[in-house]
Homo-oligomer: A and B are copies of this chain.
Amino acid sequence: MNQINRAAIVGGSHGNELIGVYLVKKFQKYPHLIKRANFETLSLLGNPKAIAARRRYIDRDLNRCFTENNLTTDITSSYEELRAKEIQQILRPQNQEFVDVIIDLHTTTANMGLCIILGNMHPLLLGLAANISAINPLVKVYSHQQPRNSGFLRSLSELGFAIEVGAVAQGVLSAELFKQTEQLVYAVLDYFEECNQGKIPPTHNTLTLYQSIGAVDYPRNEDGEIQAMIHPQLQFRDYEPLHPGEPIFLTFEDEEIFYEGESTVYPIFINEAAYYEKGIAMYLSQKEVIHTI
């Protein structure tokens, strides 16, 4: 069993995702809230300049800057590349394991509720996800396999994962989601505390997992300009089944565009504001029930 010695909570990797920003400010003001009997927890604001500017980022997306290339080069051309190195020095000094767990707090304009995003299938993370989602049925678990070099902040630790909550607009605080996210963070810390104590948490041997199978872009013209919007029938329907032949987009001329896949999928991150520029209208996932024990 892994022993957790240090956990890190990061908020505001994206400066306009305010729930993480204000949760971390709260944890820094009241550190006892994230203190647990048998490990330390540090908390950190990811992108202070972007937070001050109320923007996702200044030069480029910080949460894509944690690549081997960027972290090892001496040349840094952007604020976020520099900031990624600083964060690495805090969370993984001299490129050595220092924090055992990273919880990266995000919000989304998609209706993802309370979502744990796993970048790998480490048994401890699967156990955590099974436990937390059994306690709180509002919690969903999304798996998006990420290689070490994918650039995500959470990839600095093997036990790194994101908490993604929504729907909430960029630059806005939702009190309801703030409270729910706070409770979810405490539940995660409690789980690790119990693991360290050797108490095996109550057995939950099944876990419903939304497994990413790829992204879908908006229909675009030759200039890259989008030609359609998320269909009203799909808007806010994250995690719900999308069957072949059902509408997914509506053009500006009011024509429906249908999903042409061959099997039922479960869209995630539907209409996330920050993904328009990334060429992502939604991710598609498969819903799987897996056995964790």
Residues of A within 8 A of B (CB): 22, 25-26, 54-55, 109, 167-176, 178-179, 229-232, 235, 250, 252-254, 271, 273-274, 276-277
Contact = CB atoms under 8 A, between A and B. Distances in A.
Given A170-B170, A171-B170, A176 B276 contact: no
A229 B170 contact: no
Contact of A232 (B170, B175, B231): B175
Mostly, the A contact residues are loop
A171 B276 contact: yes
A142 B230 CA distance: 29
A146 to B, nearest CB: 24
A171 to B, nearest CB: 4
A109 B172 contact: yes
Contacts of A109: 169, 171-172
Given A170-B170, A252-B22, A252-B26, A175 B229 contact: yes
6 A-B pairs closest in CB distance:
A171-B273, A169-B169, A175-B229, A109-B169, A173-B229, A176-B232
A240 to B, nearest CB: 17
Contact of A169 (B54, B232, B250, B273): B273
Contacts of A253: 26
Contacts of A54: 276-277
Number of copies: 2
Contacts of A168: 169
A253 B175 CA distance: 11
Contacts of A174: 229, 235
Contacts of A276: 54, 171
A268 to B, nearest CB: 16
A179 B178 CA distance: 32
A175 B250 contact: yes
A163 B109 CA distance: 23
Output the residue of A54, A168, A172, A232 with the most chain B CB within 10 A. Answer: A172
26 contacts: A22-B229, A22-B252, A25-B252, A54-B277, A55-B55, A109-B169, A109-B172, A167-B169, A168-B169, A169-B169, A169-B172, A170-B171, A171-B274, A171-B276, A172-B271, A172-B273, A173-B229, A173-B230, A173-B271, A174-B229, A174-B235, A175-B229, A175-B231, A175-B235, A176-B235, A178-B252
A25 B251 CA distance: 13
